[in-house]
Amino acid sequence: MKYYRKKGQVSYGEAIGIILLDSEAPFIPGDVANATTYEFPVRFQRVEGLTVQKMMDHDKSSMEKIMEAAELLQKEGVRAITSDCGFMALYQTELRERLHIPVFSSSLLQIPFITQIIPYGKKIGVITANGKSLDESVIKLCGVEDTSNLVIEGLEDEPNFSSAFLIEEGVLDTEKVEKEVVDRVLKLQKENPDIGAILLECSVLPVYAEAVQRASGLPVFDFVTMIRYVFSAVVRESNGGFM
Question: In the chain, what's the furthest Cα-to-Cα distance?
Answer: 60
Angle between helices 174-191 and 209-216 (to 10 degrees): 40
Distance CA 236, CA 33 (A): 24
23-37 as b/e, with b when 16 or more CB fall inside 10 Å? bebbbeebbbbbbeb
| Active site residue ranges | 85, 202
Specify the long-range contacts of residues 47-54, CB closer than 8 Å, at least 24 apart: 47/19, 47/20, 47/21, 47/22, 48/22, 49/22, 50/21, 50/22, 51/21, 51/22, 51/23, 52/21, 52/23, 52/85, 52/129, 52/165, 52/166, 52/168
Q: How far is CA 94 from CA 44, 52, 103, 173, in A?
A: 20, 20, 10, 36
Q: Could you please report the per-residue DSSP string of 66-128? A: HHHHHHHHHHTT-SEEEES-GGGGGGHHHHHHH-SS-B---GGGGHHHHHHHSPTT-EEEEEE
